[in-house]
């Protein structure tokens, strides 16, 4: 993890210089003007009228004392200001050990530089909740789910941000239990917001989640940006960001090192996802950098039974990752993956560039319908540069249910010294290509001087203007 630690140190040094002079007491106000002097500024979907510090509620940042009840009490107390300009809970420098707690509406959780929210490793600190209705069971097993470290449901206007503070999931104990099959219930996520709207998660470092890091589900109008997400590359299921049955989503300026997919777009699992019927749609991923030797930079699925559509990805970078954009599905999933547009990928040391799987498997129970075939159509990739690649494309659909409408243009793939002899393996797919090196399979018909489409209009989430919030610092009067 030397690379990850070095990245975190670099980010922390920048934040230190930015926040130099910050001490105990702050008055935080909301304004649209740029601040000057000793003010600290940050951007948010909304600023807050009221502010409190975790220490106001008896919090102890010694890394040993449990602050679970303190966080819960603080949020409950500040919820009274939801209709009076909202409230902000500031987590000051220190190590704040806690189990699961929920947020409230019109609320900001702000982690100052040097603040670490340290996840408890005590299972008893995470209440059990029901499986997601679009999944029918937990992902780790048929039982329930441990609550996420930071959660909330049916909320409006929620911000989790900071001066590059840290959320440490302390996942190693959970990973060991998972490998030893000692868990009857699904591991907690680091942040999970359900049935919510107007969400911002930004300017944080997150490390070592027990399972998925950030999981918005059944939610809309979501901005996730300026995040560093780090986990050992052999840690199980530590996906970085998993938008799940969500609408109007932006992921931007994010660096992820993961033991699983860096970004995994989902929408429910087999018959449960089909019944729930909520797609993930209207989504942009921009300036994502990923390291994931055993998984995808961006995965579409495999749980996609509510559908995935109208997704854009641009300026994507990967180093030492298994694949770039991977479509994962199977008979039984149903629904669709369609209208996917990718413009600009720079990849180095990859197993595959293009990987499409129609036989992923993994079903929640025997009750799925094997005749529920997914539809995959209109998948566009353009302006791709890759080097040190073992195989250009491994693209398989489903027999009797071919994946259609692929378009590849302006793609240059440099092969690894020990690359595979067969560079393109294509079955049950169809599409077109132009300016692709090495030359693709015959199922991707060559059309000279063609450029794949990439939409020029803006998605609604890209039109959201963030406000500038400022915090003016003063010396303590002690």
User: What are the residue numbers of the active site?
Assistant: 260
CB atoms within 10 A of CB 298: 26
Which residues in 305-335 are b (16+ Cβ under 10 Å) and which e?
bbbbbbbbbbbbbbbbbbbbbbbbbbbbbbb
Q: Which helix (H) or strand (E) holds 351?
A: strand 336-357
Candidates 364, 346, 216; CA nearest to 288 is 346
Q: Which helix (H) or strand (E) holds 253?
A: strand 247-257
**445: CB partners within 8 A, 6+ apart:** 431, 432, 433
Pairing of strands 40-44, 467-473: antiparallel
Is residue 288 within 8 Å of residue 347, measured between CB atoms? Answer: no
How far apart are the C-alpha atoms of 294 and 259, rounded to whole Å? 7
How far apart are the C-alpha atoms of 32 and 44, rounded to whole Å? 11
Is residue 382 within 8 Å of residue 342, measured between CB atoms? Answer: yes
Is residue 107 within 8 Å of residue 70, measured between CB atoms? Answer: no
Q: 69: buried, middle or exposed (CB in 10 Å: 19+, 13-18, 0-12)?
A: middle
**157: CB partners within 8 A, 6+ apart:** 45, 46, 86, 105, 106, 107, 197, 198
DSSP string over 180-236:
TT--SSBPPPSEEEES-EEEEEEEEEEE--SS-SEEEES-EEEEEEEEEEE--TTST
Q: 200: buried, middle or exposed (CB in 10 Å: 19+, 13-18, 0-12)?
A: buried
Residue located via tokens 């840290």 = 166
Q: 266: buried, middle or exposed (CB in 10 Å: 19+, 13-18, 0-12)?
A: buried
How far apart are the C-alpha atoms of 59 and 67, rounded to whole Å? 6
3-state helix, strand, coil in the chain (%, to 5): 10, 45, 40
């Amino acid at each position: 993890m030397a690379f990850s630690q070095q990245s975190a140190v670099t980010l922390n040094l920048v934040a230190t210089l930015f926040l130099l002079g910050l001490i105990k007491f702050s008055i935080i106000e909301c304004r649209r003007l740029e601040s000057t002097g000793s003010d600290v500024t940050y951007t948010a979907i909304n600023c807050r009228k009221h502010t409190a510090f975790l220490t106001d509620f008896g919090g102890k940042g010694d890394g040993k004392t449990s602050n679970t009840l303190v966080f819960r009490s603080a949020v409950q107390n500040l919820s009274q200001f939801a209709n009076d300009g909202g409230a902000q809970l500031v987590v000051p420098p220190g190590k704040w050990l806690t189990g699961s707690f929920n947020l409230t509406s019109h609320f900001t959780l702000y982690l100052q530089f040097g603040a670490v929210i340290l996840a408890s490793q005590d299972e008893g600190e995470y209440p059990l909740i029901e499986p997601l209705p679009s999944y029918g069971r937990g992902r780790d097993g048929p039982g329930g789910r441990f609550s996420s470290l930071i959660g909330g449901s049916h909320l409006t206007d929620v911000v989790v941000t900071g001066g590059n503070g840290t959320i440490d999931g302390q996942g190693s104990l959970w990973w060991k239990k998972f490998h030893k099959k000692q868990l009857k219930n699904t591991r907690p996520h680091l942040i999970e917001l359900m049935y919510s709207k107007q969400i911002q998660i930004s300017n944080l470092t997150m490390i070592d989640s027990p399972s998925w890091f950030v999981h918005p589900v059944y939610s809309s109008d979501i901005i996730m940006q300026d995040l560093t997400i780090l986990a050992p590359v052999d840690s199980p299921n530590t996906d970085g960001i998993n938008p799940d049955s969500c609408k109007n989503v932006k992921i931007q300026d994010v660096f992820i090192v993961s033991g699983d997919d860096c970004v995994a777009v989902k929408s429910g699992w087999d018959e449960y996802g089909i019944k729930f019927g909520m797609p993930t749609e209207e989504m942009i991923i921009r300036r994502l950098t990923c390291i994931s030797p055993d998984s995808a930079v961006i995965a579409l699925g495999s749980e996609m039974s509510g559908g995935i559509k109208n997704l854009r990805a641009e300026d994507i970078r990967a180093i030492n990752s298994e694949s770039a954009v991977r479509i994962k599905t199977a008979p039984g999933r149903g629904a669709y993956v369609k209208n996917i547009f990718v413009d600009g990928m720079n990849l180095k040391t990859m197993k595959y560039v293009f990987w499409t799987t129609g036989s992923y498997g993994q079903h929640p129970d025997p009750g799925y319908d094997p005749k529920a075939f997914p539809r995959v159509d209109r998948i566009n990739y353009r302006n791709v540069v890759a080097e040190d690649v073992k195989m250009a494309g491994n693209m398989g659909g489903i027999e009797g249910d071919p994946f259609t409408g692929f378009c590849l243009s302006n793609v240059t793939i440099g092969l690894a010294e020990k690359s595979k002899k067969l560079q393109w393996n294509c079955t049950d797919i169809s599409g077109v290509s132009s300016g692709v090196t090495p030359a693709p399979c015959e199922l991707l018909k060559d059309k000279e001087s063609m450029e794949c489409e990439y939409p020029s209009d803006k998605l609604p989430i890209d039109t959201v203007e963030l406000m500038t919030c400022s915090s003016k610092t003063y010396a303590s009067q002690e």
